[in-house]
Amino acid sequence: MKTPRPYLEHILQECEFLIERVKGISFEDFVKDPVLTRAFVRSLEIIGEAVKNLPKEFREKHSKVPWKEIAGMRDKLIHEYFGVNYRIIWETILKEIPELEKQVKEILQKEK
């Protein structure tokens, strides 16, 4: 079985990046900045890809984390890149990413 730690660490790194970079900017600033929009989308893609690499048994063991939804967002970003809704990206970063960061930190502590 693949060890989940490297994937969890990637998820945590991207969560920390998103949380730090979103501070002090508005949605309007975000959508006007192509470097930032691409960076944020890419971070969410990396999170989704890391989730897809977590063993099924591990995801089932930690079922409070919305793994399926995270992987689904990654698929939408990768396959429907012409129709990316930046409002959804923004809301996900503000509302969901801090909770994911917390959950991943807790899992990493338990899985030492």
Q: pLDDT of 86-101, one tens digit each?
A: 999 999 999 999 999 9
Q: Where are the domains of the chain?
A: 5-106
For 14-23, 53-62, 69-78, which range has the lowest pLDDT when averaged over its residues? 69-78
Share the mean pLDDT of the chain: 94
Q: Distance between CA atoms of 60 and 3, rounded to whole angstroms?
A: 15
Chain centroid to CA 29: 21
pTM given for the model: 0.93
Q: What is the pLDDT of residue 60?
A: 97
Q: pLDDT of 21-54, one tens digit each?
A: 999 999 999 999 999 999 999 999 999 999 999 9
Residues with catalytic function: 74, 79
Average pLDDT, stretch 74-93?
Answer: 88
Question: Cβ neighbours of residue 74 under 8 Å, at least 6 residues apart?
Answer: 44, 45, 47, 48, 49, 51, 52
Q: Given pLDDT bands bounded at 50, 70 and 90, which one contains residue 1? A: low
Q: Which amino acid is at 34?
A: P
Q: How many residues does the chain have?
A: 112
- List the one residue out of 66, 49, 64 whose CA is nearest residue 13: 49
Average pLDDT, stretch 63-91?
Answer: 90
